[in-house]
């Protein structure tokens, strides 16, 4: 399936989406967002893909956010008509069945910061910085996603001010899981993605569903939800198969003790 604004790859159980508008700092045009939603579905339905990795083309930006020029053109051509840019991708990514990793290879501002805040895991480098700048333009986003990452007080600061968050601070406040040199960023991300993909897919996906679905639940309901999802989704192999390496080591130790 051809894409105009994205590059798609598969490697060792990992699906890779690259936002591919480097000349526009990977701005989120209508075409890109529609294609992104389609690519999410493509990898979600691909049985060979267990982890999704998303990054941006070039070495300047993950994404500078909305395509402002497109927004202006549309609003002037249809004055008074509400913003109709695609939004289905937001909940699709938030409620994705498979684990997601954002490789934030440069600036992530506006809609790019929003997208970053939805990934399960974020990795960055010295070029990475975030800016949740919606209020600067009389808009609002990320109020539901950012507090879950950095906590309510810090989310208030970042959303109220719209200031830039450089890489070191992003790592310190938990907005980045890992901060590595740019030359090692994709290698580190792939290693992490492949490690996740090496685990039992049904168990990993169940853990993700629980963590997301449990948001706002009380502790007891979280326990009940875990039992419900395990019964429905986790296909655990027999214990002898699951713990075969442990049993083999145990047997060898016993054999040595009898010599």
pLDDT tens for residues 205-242?
999 999 998 988 888 888 888 888 888 888 767 767 76
Judgement on whether residues 165 and 210 belong to the same structural domain of the protein: no
Query: What domain count does the chain have?
Result: 2
Q: How many CB atoms lie within 10 A of CB 55?
A: 23
pLDDT digits (tens, 9 = 90+) for 137-186: 888 999 999 999 999 999 999 999 999 999 999 999 999 999 999 999 99
User: What is the reported pLDDT for 176?
Assistant: 98
User: What is the reported pLDDT for 149?
Assistant: 98
Judgement on whether residues 138 and 111 belong to the same structural domain of the protein: yes
Residue 42 has pLDDT above 90, yes or no: yes
User: What is the reported pLDDT for 89?
Assistant: 95
Q: Please check whether residue 37 is in contact with residue 72, taking contact to mean a CB–CB distance below 8 angstroms.
A: no
Judgement on whether residues 42 and 130 belong to the same structural domain of the protein: yes
Which of these three, 197, 216, 231, is where a domain ends? 197
Which of these three, 175, 197, 219, is where a domain ends? 197
Identify whether 38 is part of a domain. Answer: yes
Instruction: Give which of 137, 127, 172, 136 is closest to 154, Cα–Cα.
Output: 172
User: What is the reported pLDDT for 246?
Assistant: 67
Which structural domain, as residue segments, surrounds residue 223?
201-257
Judgement on whether residues 208 and 179 belong to the same structural domain of the protein: no
Q: Which residues of 134-171 are buried (b: 16+ CB within 10 A; e: fewer)?
A: beeeeeebbeebbbebbeeebbeebbeebeebebeebb
Judgement on whether residues 84 and 152 belong to the same structural domain of the protein: yes
Judgement on whether residues 141 and 22 belong to the same structural domain of the protein: yes
Judgement on whether residues 215 and 240 belong to the same structural domain of the protein: yes
Q: Tokens for 175?
A: 């907005």
pLDDT digits (tens, 9 = 90+) for 117-147: 999 999 999 999 999 999 998 889 999 999 9
Residue 104 has pLDDT above 90, yes or no: yes
Q: Please check whether residue 106 is in contact with residue 60, taking contact to mean a CB–CB distance below 8 angstroms.
A: yes
Identify whether 1 is part of a domain. Answer: no
Which of these three, 174, 197, 220, is where a domain ends? 197
């Amino acid at each position: 399936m051809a894409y105009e604004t994205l590059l798609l790859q598969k490697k060792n159980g990992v699906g890779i989406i690259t936002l591919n508008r480097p000349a526009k700092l990977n701005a989120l045009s209508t075409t890109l967002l529609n294609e992104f939603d389609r690519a999410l579905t493509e990898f979600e339905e691909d049985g060979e893909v267990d982890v999704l990795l998303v990054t941006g083309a070039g070495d300047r930006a993950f994404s500078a956010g909305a395509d402002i020029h497109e927004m202006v053109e549309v609003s002037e051509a249809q004055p008074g008509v509400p913003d109709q840019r695609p939004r289905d991708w937001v909940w699709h990514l938030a409620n994705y069945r498979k684990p997601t990793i954002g490789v934030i290879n440069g600036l992530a501002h506006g809609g790019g910061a929003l997208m970053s805040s939805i990934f399960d895991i974020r990795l960055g480098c010295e070029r990475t910085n975030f800016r949740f700048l919606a209020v600067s333009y009389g808009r609002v986003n990320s109020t539901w996603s950012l507090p879950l990452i950095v906590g309510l007080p810090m989310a208030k600061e970042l959303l109220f001010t719209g200031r830039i968050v450089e890489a070191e601070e992003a790592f310190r406040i938990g907005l980045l899981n890992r901060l590595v040199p740019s030359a090692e960023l994709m290698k580190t991300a792939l290693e992490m993605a492949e490690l996740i993909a090496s685990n039992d897919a049904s168990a990993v996906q169940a853990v993700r569903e629980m963590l997301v679905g449990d948001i706002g639940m009380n502790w007891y309901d979280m326990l009940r939800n875990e039992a419900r999802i395990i019964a429905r989704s986790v296909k655990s192999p027999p214990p002898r198969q699951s713990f075969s390496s442990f049993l083999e080591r145990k047997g060898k130790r016993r054999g040595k003790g009898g010599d």
